[in-house]
Amino acid sequence: MFRESGEKMKLGVMGGTFNPIHNAHLATAEFIRDKYDLDKVVFIPTGDPPHKKNVLDKKHRYNMVVLSTFKNDDFFVSDFEITSDSNNTYTVDTLKHLEETYPNEELYFITGSDAVNQMESWKDFQENFKYAKFIAAIRPGIDLLETQENITRYRECYFADIDMVYVPSLEISSTYIRSRVKSQKSIKYLVPSRVEEYINKYNLYGGARG
């Protein structure tokens, strides 16, 4: 698809376990969508990775992402990774799929500084840069020296198109959400209300209240 100006549409890509999705995920996606004038952001929950423990079933995680985004016309959700024949879908495979699905759109892959520092361990590491511009979302207070050094090397050695962007600091993590649920503490305003209701409805994360 193209804009009226003839420019390609810009599609943000936000992958993750989303175990569960929370308000910091959504705030980061919206901040970057606005900053880079993205037309849409697609959320792509991972499958059930065998190397990670205590990951909720992929269907529950996918459903919570849908519940979090369906009223926002700028966001949508892809089930590509959760319906893949392999639970261990790699970023490069997802980007190839998106390029084939949206051939006339520019892809902007949104990730965190921790992931940027591990990128050389990814499958077909250099291939990723052929498919998308990378945006490293940095929260205030993070030590940036390693990230800055890696980004400089990626640009010089692999011709990567990669930016580093400060995003609003929301001290929320999926680990923290799970811990609060398990301890039967409130997660109101940490996750969308529909996600809170879904977690309670299906008694997820061991937080049953009796």
Q: What is the pLDDT of residues 154-163, one digit of tens each?
A: 999 999 999 9
Asked whether residue 151 carries a pLDDT value surpassing 60, the answer given is: yes
- Angle at the Cα of 96 (from 25 to 7), degrees rounded to 5? 75
What residues does each domain of the chain span? Answer: 10-202
- Inter-CA distances, 69 with 16, 63, 78, 132, 192, Å: 15, 10, 12, 23, 9
Quickly list DSSP for 176-204.
HHHHHHHTT---BTTB-HHHHHHHHHTTG
pLDDT at res. 210: 42
CA distance 124 to 17: 21
Q: What is the pLDDT of residues 6-65, one digit of tens each?
A: 789 999 999 999 999 999 999 999 999 999 999 999 999 999 876 677 899 999 999 999
Whether the Cβ atoms of residue 12 and residue 82 lie closer than 8 Å to each other: no
Question: Other CB atoms closer than 10 Å to residue 96's CB: what's the count?
Answer: 16
Instruction: Name the CATH architecture for the domain at 10-202.
Output: 3-Layer(aba) Sandwich (3.40)
Structure tokens at 37: 């004038």
Q: Where are the alpha helices (DSSP H) in the chain?
A: 23-35, 58-69, 91-101, 113-116, 128-131, 145-158, 174-182, 193-201
Reduced to 3 states (helix: H, G, I; strand: E, B; else coil), residue 160 is: coil
* pLDDT band per the 50, 70, 90 thresholds, residue 86: confident
pLDDT at res. 75: 99
Q: What is the mean pLDDT of residues 68-72?
A: 98
* pLDDT band per the 50, 70, 90 thresholds, residue 139: confident
Whether the Cβ atoms of residue 26 and residue 120 lie closer than 8 Å to each other: no
pTM score of the predicted model: 0.93
Helices (H) and strands (E) in the chain, counts: 8, 6
Write down the mean pLDDT value for the chain.
Answer: 93
